[in-house]
């Protein structure tokens, strides 16, 4: 995107690690969790590539329209799947935000290096408010509940063993929280 290189690389690392964990979650035995993890892996890796500092790599002009097409397809898929679950509405907003950022970067006069004021202020502000609220709610959901601490310490799986890495709901929530924080950071740079 734009701005200093160090925060950009930290954002790349955060988004890539999140995408990698989402790939691990795709090994879950729960089909709905696998599908959600696939959507989130696409978002994590897409955000990681988009966050690469402009000083390190200047992508060709066709990259941003291709991003818009890929994430436009992801938004349509999320809209279709949202019929069965409201969680996919968040995927719809995230994919639409990626399309918006790709469009801003396509329209940027410096070939993909948009700077403050390049986006539509009202739309950018709305997306910032949405993701700020999402981050706050996701953070609260990660706080331990007093009564739940004892039940998780004994293990709640059928065999009494710890759940697989791909089936841990608190890690999935942390993954979504980190992507929300990353999206906030990326929207602030538009």
DSSP-assigned letters across all residues of 20-79: HHHHHHTT-S-HHHHHHHHHHHHHHHHHHHHTS-TTT----TTHHHHHHHHHHHHHHHHH
**Packing angle, helices 31-50 and 87-107, rounded to 10:** 20
For residue 43, what pLDDT is reported?
A: 95
If one compares 183 and 170, the residue with the highest pLDDT of the two is 183
If one compares 107 and 41, the residue with the highest pLDDT of the two is 41
For residue 140, what pLDDT is reported?
A: 93
Average pLDDT over residues 58-81: 92
If one compares 147 and 60, the residue with the highest pLDDT of the two is 60
For residue 155, what pLDDT is reported?
A: 45
The Cα diameter of the chain in Å comes to 59
If one compares 180 and 29, the residue with the highest pLDDT of the two is 180
Tell me phi and psi for residue 98, to 5 degrees: -65, -40
Q: Which residues contact 123 (CB under 8 A, 6 or more apart)?
A: 100
pLDDT digits (tens, 9 = 90+) for 109-149: 554 444 445 678 999 999 999 999 999 999 998 888 765 55
Q: Which residues contact 29 (CB under 8 A, 6 or more apart)?
A: 167
If one compares 150 and 47, the residue with the highest pLDDT of the two is 47
For residue 125, what pLDDT is reported?
A: 94
For residue 164, what pLDDT is reported?
A: 64
Alpha-carbon gap, residue 116 to 72, rounded angstroms: 24
For residue 118, what pLDDT is reported?
A: 66
Q: Does the structure show a pLDDT above 80 at 87?
A: no
DSSP string, 120-154: -HHHHHHHHHHHHHHHHHHHHHHSPPTTHHHHHHS
If one compares 85 and 183, the residue with the highest pLDDT of the two is 183
DSSP, res 18: H
- Rounded percentage of the chain residues whose pLDDT exceeds 70: 81
Beta carbons of 26 and 166 less than 8 angstroms apart: yes
The mean pLDDT value of the chain amounts to 83
For residue 159, what pLDDT is reported?
A: 52
For residue 11, what pLDDT is reported?
A: 93
Half-sphere exposure of 31 (CA within 13 A, CB side): 0
Number of Cβ within a 10 Å radius of residue 104? 19
DSSP, res 164: P
């Amino acid at each position: 995107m734009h701005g200093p290189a160090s925060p950009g690389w930290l954002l790349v690392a955060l988004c890539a690690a999140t995408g990698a964990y989402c790939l691990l979650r795709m090994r879950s035995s729960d089909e709905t969790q696998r599908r959600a993890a696939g959507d989130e892996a696409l978002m994590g890796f897409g955000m990681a590539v988009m966050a690469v500092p402009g000083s390190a790599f200047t992508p060709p002009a066709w990259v941003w329209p291709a991003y818009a097409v890929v994430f436009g397809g992801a938004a349509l898929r999320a809209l279709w799947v949202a019929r069965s679950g409201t969680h996919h509405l968040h995927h719809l907003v995230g994919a639409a935000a990626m399309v918006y950022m790709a469009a801003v970067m396509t329209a940027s006069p410096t070939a993909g290096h948009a700077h403050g004021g390049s986006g539509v202020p009202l739309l950018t502000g709305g997306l910032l408010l949405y993701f700020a609220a999402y981050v706050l709610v996701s953070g609260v959901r990660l706080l331990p509940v007093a009564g739940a601490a004892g039940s998780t310490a004994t293990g709640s799986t059928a065999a009494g063993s710890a759940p697989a890495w791909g089936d841990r709901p608190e890690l999935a929530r942390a993954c979504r929280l980190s992507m929300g924080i990353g999206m906030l950071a990326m929207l602030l740079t538009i």
